[in-house]
Amino acid sequence: MAAWEGGDAGGGCKVCIASPSVVKGEGTGEGKERDSGGANPCAKQNMEERGSPDGDPARNLEQGPEGPETPIQVVLRVRPMSAAELRRGEQSVLHCSGTRTLQVGPPPHSPKNTYREDASHTPAVRSFSCTVFTFGQTGSGKTYTLTGPPPQGEGVPVPPSLAGITQRTFAWLLDRVQHLGAPVTLHASYLEIYNEQVRDLLSLGAPRPLPVRWNKTRGFYVEHLRVVEFGSLGALMELLQMGLSRRRSSAHTMNQASSRSHALLTLYISHQTMPPVDTGEPPAGGKLCFVDLAGSEKVTATGSRGELMIEANSINRSLLALGHCISLLLDPQRKQNHIPFRDSKLTKLLADSLGGRGVTLMVACVSPSAQCLPETLSTLRYASRAQRITTRPQAPKSPVAKPPQHLETELLQLQEENHRLRSQLGQMDPKASGLIGARVSWAQRNLYGMLQEFMLENERLRKEKRQLQSSRDLAQDEQRILAQQVHELERRLLSACYLHQPGPGPAPPCPCVMVPPPPCHALPPLCPCPCCHLCPLCQAPLAHWACPRSELHLPQVFGSKAPADIPLSARPPPWVPPCSPGSAKCSRERSHSDWIQTQVLAEMLTKEEVVPSAPPLPMGPLNTSPVLRGGAAVPNLARRLEALKDQIGSSLGRGRSQPPPTEGT
Ligand X SMILES: Nc1ncnc2c1ncn2[C@@H]1O[C@H](COP(=O)(O)OP(=O)(O)OP(=O)(O)O)[C@@H](O)[C@H]1O
In the annotated binding site, the residues are 136-143
Phi, psi of 4 (to 5 degrees): -125, 145
CA distance 539 to 449: 76
Got the DSSP string for 141-159? SHHHHHH-SPPSSTT-PPP
**CB of residue 286 to ligand X, shortest distance in Å:** 27
Phi, psi of 19 (to 5 degrees): -120, -45
**CB of residue 324 to ligand X, shortest distance in Å:** 20
**CB of residue 150 to ligand X, shortest distance in Å:** 8
**CB of residue 36 to ligand X, shortest distance in Å:** 28
The residue among 257 and 619 lying less far from ligand X, judged by its C-beta, is 257
Residue 160: helix, strand or coil by DSSP? Answer: helix
The residue among 27 and 508 lying less far from ligand X, judged by its C-beta, is 27
Cα torsion at 538, 539, 545, 547 (round to 10°)? -150
CA distance 117 to 337: 36
Residue 33: helix, strand or coil by DSSP? Answer: coil
The residue among 80 and 282 lying less far from ligand X, judged by its C-beta, is 80
Considering only 114, 258, 304, 353, the residue that binds ligand X (CB under 6 A) is 258
- Residue among 351, 339, 341, 255 at smallest CA distance from 294: 255
Considering only 139, 286, 323, 368, the residue that binds ligand X (CB under 6 A) is 139
- 188 in contact with ligand X (CB under 6 A): no
- Residue among 265, 282, 58 at smallest CA distance from 146: 265
**CB of residue 6 to ligand X, shortest distance in Å:** 27
Considering only 32, 59, 79, 592, the residue that binds ligand X (CB under 6 A) is 79
- 148 in contact with ligand X (CB under 6 A): no
Q: Around 98, how many Cα atoms within 13 Å sit in the side-chain half-sphere?
A: 10
What DSSP state is assigned to residue 27?
A: -
Bridge partners for 185 per DSSP? 270
Residues 373-402 that bind ligand X (CB under 6 A): none
- 259 in contact with ligand X (CB under 6 A): yes
**Cβ count near 603 (within 10 Å):** 10
Binding mask 308-347 for ligand X (x = CB under 6 A): ----------------------------------------
- Residue among 597, 536, 557 at smallest CA distance from 566: 557
- 140 in contact with ligand X (CB under 6 A): yes
Residues 559-618 that bind ligand X (CB under 6 A): none
**CB of residue 93 to ligand X, shortest distance in Å:** 17
Packing angle of the helix pair 430-499, 633-657 (nearest 10 deg): 10
364 in Cβ contact with 20 (< 8 Å): yes
The residue among 134 and 344 lying less far from ligand X, judged by its C-beta, is 134
* Total interface residues for ligand X by CB under 6 A: 21
Bridge partners for 63 per DSSP? 396
CA distance 418 to 423: 9
- 142 in contact with ligand X (CB under 6 A): yes
The residue among 35 and 297 lying less far from ligand X, judged by its C-beta, is 297
Residues 431-490 that bind ligand X (CB under 6 A): none
The piece of 174-182, 239-247, 256-264, 438-446 that touches ligand X (CB under 6 A) is 256-264
Considering only 10, 12, 149, 437, the residue that binds ligand X (CB under 6 A) is 149
CA distance 574 to 580: 15
**CB of residue 139 to ligand X, shortest distance in Å:** 5
- 255 in contact with ligand X (CB under 6 A): yes
Binding mask 268-307 for ligand X (x = CB under 6 A): --------------------------xx------------
- Residue among 213, 192, 341, 194 at smallest CA distance from 281: 213
What are the residues binding ligand X (CB under 6 A)? 25-26, 79-80, 82, 136, 138-144, 149, 255, 257-259, 294-295, 365
